[in-house]
Structure 1
Amino acid sequence: MSQTAVPPSTAMPSRTLLGIGWFLCALFFFYAFVQRVAPSVMVDELMRDFAVGGALVGNLSAFYYYAYAGSQIPVGVMLDRFGPRRLITVAVGLVAVGSFVFAGAETLWMAYLGRMLIGFGCAFSFAGALNYAAIWMPAHRFATLSGGAQMLGVIGGITGQAPLGAAVEAFGWRPMMLVVAVFGAALAIACGFILRDRPRVDGAAPRPRLLAGLKRAAGSGQVWLAAMFGLAMTSAMLAFGGLWGVPYVMQAYDHPKAEAALLVSCLFIGWGVGAPLFGWLADRYRRRKPFMILGAILSTAGIAAAVYLPHVSDVTLAAALIVQGLGASSMVLSFSVGRENTPLWAAGATIGIINGCVVGSGAVLQPLLGWVLDLAWDGTMLEGARVYTAAAYERAFLVLPVIGVFGLLVALVVRETHGKSVES
């Protein structure tokens, strides 16, 4: 195995230092989530500055997901092989660089490059937090820590909605992206000083071949089922919450951007509450499957109600989005199912496969929904930006409850692990 228990005689970092290290990894996921949803409060500005329509704005936002999802398997393999300290530090720094590039982009291709650098760096965020938990923390706390990382992530999603939206309206999207870049540079420095790799022990088993973990993880049908469940649960969050929800609420409810972003952020509030709750319940009762089924039902019902209940009040819309986020946060259990069906030395590759599929939903759905919106566009423009009708948004969003039902079917056939990990 690549990660071997270290005897007491070997110098070990303190529990406090390890706890701070895990928190920094989770804070990186917070930062990644801010980056993930930031374009949702910049749609009009991006269409205006780069003179593009919905499909290209969706594509610009999705460049984050192309880089993030496409690199998840290599990221997992590298974490298994080289450890988290240097990889995460460099990755956070790369996100900061990408943010500077995006903030200063004068052409669409420079903006694409900035978003791609951001996405590639952020690819190490959640995988890094889970890998750090896997190698340093007790195995029976893995689902709880996964939920805790998700909670910080969705706090980032909330931050990237109403607060960032208000700041963008007040100061512009470029200055605010510069602020985001500076935060990333400071986080990279902190990671370089605090994070620790697992020490090697004399006589320990040699590290596995570079692709051994990937071969082991990819050969497990349960890993792929877990990945499909995670993909289904995150689709609405990435497509609706991450880009198209804010302009939809602005159009359908005639709300200003800050108010619309506040309503959409209710999805992330539900997610932030649900992720640690589902993780704790799954660890407490050593059951994964019942909570996955419950989460899929809530997620599907929530997004369907948020979009298709006629003439709902703001309170009802907020409640529906909270229910959606609460249910969808059960996706954290996909990592537990995958992790418990593969050995520790394949943990990074397992996380990479699942996270690649999870974030891949955003890479596909954001531009796809933008393309559907362009097809339904009636030619209306407002200050250089395309305006889509509420009916056009509702047509584009039909795919979201369908994917939720798919997630429910997957949850029904997943094998219960009872919180027990394989050993070889």
Structure 2
Amino acid sequence: MGNCCPICQPGQIAGFDAEIQCRVSLRVFTTGFRSQITGITMAGLVNWMPLLNGFSSMSSGTSEHVSAPRLGGPYAWLVWSLAAIAFGYAFFHRVTPSVMVSDLMTEFAIGGAMLGTLSALYFYPYVLLQVPLGGMLEVFGTRRLLSVALLLAGIGSFLFGTAHSLEVAYLGRILIGIGSSVGFLGSLALASKWFPANRFAFLAGLAMFIAMASGMAAQAPLAFFIDLYGWRSSLLALGIFGFVLAALVFLFVRNAPAESAVPPDAAADAVSPSASARWSDLFASLRLAMVSADVWKMAIVAATMAGPMLALGGLWGTPYLMVAYDLTRTEAALYMSLLLLGWAISSPTSGWLSDRIGQRKLILVWGSGLMSVMMTIIIFVPQLPFAVTVICLVMMGLSGGVMPASFALVRDVMPTRLVGATTGIVNSMTVASGAILQPLVGLALDLSWDGTIMDGARHYAAADYRIAFLLVLASLVIGLLTAFSLRETPLEDGTL
């Protein structure tokens, strides 16, 4: 290829494959100096397109459109992976209180109910935002919303980590919840635009795998870190990570492949004229989705499978193992992470299986039923051997990991224009299950507490935990009964 620029010589730009060619006009301004470089010809700019978009947004000249990256290509994986990591970051925050129970109770002089409320404050804004987020992602784009959300989560981490009053801790936890709300839906939105439709269930499961792996990191590894440096330092480190991830998302994520061929500002301008129409469509879709019995059935099944994982893996499972089997915090967190490991393994594999056999309902029924059996054993078998408890936790994770199939069922059953709103409703209910169960279990523990204080925190007996876990079992039974009535045939607008 010949040289078209007097400044660049062939071979000076290394590491670029010969996939595409583009011409970009750049105008670089510095104090007291102005130069213009035109006609730079490069090959293989697909993987560097976000950087060039940033440059071209500073240019006063024009830039020619570049062919968009292909669906499912390397750049698609980069874009989706950043959103999936953001979801993992959100999930890490979701379960961190489980290894801080005694620290937080002592620091803020609170009991189980108040601790459950502090942990659940993450979920309340998260839940409220899920329904409108489906439309907001279409109007404003995943890139913008996810970047801002991660910044808020980082700020919330700093507030929580430096809090010396319960009110400041509340505010920090709320900001973390707001900032964490975009990750999962953002990853689904990018998966739907950057990958073929037949990869959707697998990618939803893979996102859940990343989240569960993050949840595992928030168990024994985080407990070890807290033992060394304290719970405040861990939250400050999480805040820094959130800021770095926000910058990476803003630099590299594009809402759709076509946007990688034009500057981000131009892409945003292309969306804005139809913003009011999109909002109108959003509210119309929400009205239809919220009156559909099928939507609420899918939401209930998903929520009752997610709830036990959030109640046990997210808060109360680790202290239960510490009391029931005389384990250290790090040991208990390590074994509780097996629940998340089972979920992590099952999510992508069950997503792949449901895509292969096309049987979402069957998988959800079996998953919900097996979770109910395992929870029944943990609660009602007296003096359950530790090895059996560990097996039950792993099996609960494996069976609960089929929950992402409910999102694939949404795509199968709902009319296309209602998928976004329905996904938001279903996801909001999965998170609401944690917001409901965590404080309820804490309240049940407080009601059965015998007044014992150890190391400045309330001490609950193993029997108290098993009684409180009856609430978890009740939710599982409700979900199982609902799963039998799920629809698998597509709905039309007129049948909603």
TM class by smaller structure: over 0.9
Is residue 2:69 matched to residue 1:13?
yes
**1:5 corresponds to:** none
The counterpart of 2:443, out of the listed 371, 374, 384, is 371
The counterpart of 2:219, out of the listed 149, 158, 161, is 161
Query: Which secondary structure does the structure 1 equivalent of 2:69 belong to?
Result: coil
2-structure distance, mates of 1:412, 1:215: 26
Q: What is the Cα deviation at residue 77 of structure 1?
A: 2.2
**2:421 corresponds to:** 349
Is residue 2:328 matched to residue 1:270?
no
Higher RCO (C-alpha under 8 Å, 6+ residues apart)? 1
129-138 or 43-52, which deviates more? 129-138
Query: Which secondary structure does the structure 2 equivalent of 1:405 belong to?
Result: helix
Unaligned runs of 5+ in 2: 1-64, 260-266
Q: What is the Cα deviation at residue 10 of structure 1?
A: 7.5
Is residue 2:316 matched to residue 1:244?
yes
**2:193 corresponds to:** 135
One-letter identity of the residue aligned with 2:96: A
Q: What is the Cα deviation at residue 166 of structure 1?
A: 1.3
Does the 8 A contact of 1:37 with 1:157 survive in 2?
Answer: yes
Correspondence list, 1:111-122, <5 A: 111-122=169-180
Unaligned runs of 5+ in 1: 1-8
CA deviations on 1:238-282 (whole Å, 9 max, x unpaired) are: 111110111111111111101111111111011001111110100
**1:41 corresponds to:** 99
Q: What is the Cα deviation at residue 216 of structure 1?
A: 3.8
1-structure distance, mates of 2:252, 2:322: 43
2-structure distance, mates of 1:124, 1:302: 32
Correspondence list, 1:66-215, <5 A: 66-198=124-256, 199=258, 208=278, 209=280, 210-215=282-287
2-structure distance, mates of 1:118, 1:129: 18
2-structure distance, mates of 1:308, 1:235: 20
Query: Which secondary structure does the structure 2 equivalent of 1:413 belong to?
Result: coil
CA deviations on 1:128-184 (whole Å, 9 max, x unpaired) are: 111111222211211111100000000011011111011112211000111111111
Does the 8 A contact of 1:134 with 1:347 survive in 2?
Answer: no
Is residue 2:309 matched to residue 1:225?
no
Which protein has the larger Cα radius of gyration, Structure 1 or Structure 2? 2
One-letter identity of the residue aligned with 2:360: R
2-structure distance, mates of 1:28, 1:422: 34
Correspondence list, 1:240-389, <5 A: 240-389=312-461
Query: Which secondary structure does the structure 2 equivalent of 1:310 belong to?
Result: coil
2-structure distance, mates of 1:105, 1:132: 36
Is residue 2:120 matched to residue 1:62?
yes
1-structure distance, mates of 2:378, 2:404: 23
1-structure distance, mates of 2:448, 2:385: 26
TM-score, normalised via structure 1 length: 0.93
One-letter identity of the residue aligned with 1:12: A
Query: Which secondary structure does the structure 2 equivalent of 1:322 belong to?
Result: helix
CA deviations on 1:19-54 (whole Å, 9 max, x unpaired) are: 111111111111111100000000000000001111
**1:4 corresponds to:** none
73-82 or 53-62, which deviates more? 73-82
More helix by share: 1
Indicate the percent of aligned positions where both proteins have the same amino acid: 42
Q: What is the Cα deviation at residue 347 of structure 1?
A: 3.3
Query: Which secondary structure does the structure 2 equivalent of 1:12 belong to?
Result: coil
1-structure distance, mates of 2:76, 2:433: 32
The Cα RMSD (Å) is: 2.1
CA deviations on 1:167-222 (whole Å, 9 max, x unpaired) are: 112211000111111111111111111111235899xx965424233234324332
Q: What is the Cα deviation at residue 421 of structure 1?
A: 8.9
More strand by share: 2
1-structure distance, mates of 2:246, 2:82: 9
- Structure 1 stretches of 4+ moved >6 Å: 420-424
Query: Which secondary structure does the structure 2 equivalent of 1:378 belong to?
Result: coil
362-371 or 205-214, which deviates more? 205-214
Does the 8 A contact of 1:79 with 1:87 survive in 2?
Answer: yes
Query: Which secondary structure does the structure 2 equivalent of 1:184 belong to?
Result: helix
1-structure distance, mates of 2:477, 2:397: 15
CA deviations on 1:333-356 (whole Å, 9 max, x unpaired) are: 111112223344443322210111
One-letter identity of the residue aligned with 2:69: P
One-letter identity of the residue aligned with 2:198: H
Query: Which secondary structure does the structure 1 equivalent of 2:403 belong to?
Result: helix
1-structure distance, mates of 2:492, 2:75: 29
Query: Which secondary structure does the structure 2 equivalent of 1:293 belong to?
Result: helix
Query: Which secondary structure does the structure 2 equivalent of 1:388 belong to?
Result: coil
Query: Which secondary structure does the structure 2 equivalent of 1:331 belong to?
Result: coil
Q: What is the Cα deviation at residue 13 of structure 1?
A: 3.4
**2:14 corresponds to:** none
TM-score, normalised via structure 2 length: 0.80
Q: What is the Cα deviation at residue 293 of structure 1?
A: 0.9
1-structure distance, mates of 2:108, 2:182: 29
2-structure distance, mates of 1:365, 1:138: 37
Q: What is the Cα deviation at residue 92 of structure 1?
A: 1.1
One-letter identity of the residue aligned with 1:22: W
One-letter identity of the residue aligned with 1:168: I
